[in-house]
Amino acid sequence: MGSCDTCLVRNRAICSALDDEEVQLLNTIGRRKVLAAGDPLIWEGDDSLLVANVIDGMLKLTNSTEDGREQIVGVVYPSDFIGRPFGARANHSVTALTDARVCIFARSDFDRFAAEHPALEHKLLERTLTELDRTRSWMLLLARKSAEEKVATFLLDMSARLVDSTCTTPHHGPLDEFELPFSRQQIGDILGVTIETVSRQMTRLKRDGVLDLPTRRSVRILDRGALEAMAG
């Protein structure tokens, strides 16, 4: 695997809990994998055989409904952790939304390494609790917020999570300009609204001077305060 010293997410990923010697030991049990947009990494219901750190790019977590439809239930970004340590089966499918690079570890090797390095286990617990908080916030969004609030919240979340891949520091402010990794249909599926509703809300935000939309997927936030107010 490539040197961890030059890794773009070294200071933000779970391995930031390790010292240099421990990182090198972790490096010996991992490998880099390049994914093209659309490539699968993990299949829902399969044995949990691997875990991974995202180096760059974005991947989606999905579940399948009984009638075969795909539901996006989460997105992972650079420095995020993928997979189920200490688990028997994968609860979600994981597929590349964009071209991506990940560090892959056999789950059994990673479980053993984590058990021997409490700082890594502690970092995993922190990440798990953070994801639990995000999930609870998302439940509120889906259950209680209006279409306007949903779209505004979604855009603010994207601006906060889409960290520039060239940023190597653990703290980085939200982006005011970014490319959405989703189509408007996918955004509607995530938010529980129709594609027409998403398009209407985006057009309204542009008309009101809150956003600029240079292309169908490009977003430029012009008035963050107004967007935050709309998000409730």
Residue 98 corresponds to which amino acid?
Answer: T
For the chain, the C-alpha Rg in angstroms (whole number) is 18
pTM over 0.85: no
Q: Does domain 146-230 correspond to CATH entry 1.10.630.10?
A: no
Domain residue limits, the chain: 4-135, 146-230
Q: Residue 11: how many CB atoms within 10 A of its CB?
A: 14
Write out pLDDT tens, residues 139-152.
777 778 899 999 99
- Tens-binned pLDDT, residue by residue, of the chain (232 aa): 456 767 778 778 888 888 888 888 888 899 999 999 999 999 998 888 999 999 988 898 888 888 877 888 888 888 899 988 887 788 889 999 889 999 999 999 999 999 999 988 888 888 888 888 877 877 777 778 899 999 999 999 888 887 544 444 444 568 899 888 888 988 888 888 999 999 999 999 999 999 999 998 899 999 999 999 999 8
Helix (H/G/I), strand (E/B), else coil: 225: helix
The DSSP code for 214 is S
- Number of alpha carbons in the 13 Å side-chain half-sphere of residue 53: 25
The Cα 17–Cα 121 span in angstroms is: 9
Q: Residue 207: how many CB atoms within 10 A of its CB?
A: 9
Residue 76 corresponds to which amino acid?
Answer: V
Of 19, 12, 24, nearest in space to 80 by CA: 12
Helix (H/G/I), strand (E/B), else coil: 2: coil
Which tokens hold the place of 3?
């040197």
- Non-local CB neighbours of 232 within 8 Å, separated by 6+ positions: 145, 149, 152, 153
Which option is the CATH number for 4-135: 3.40.50.80, 3.40.630.30, 2.60.40.2240, 2.60.120.10?
Answer: 2.60.120.10
The answer to whether 202 touches 151, Cβ cutoff 8 Å, is yes
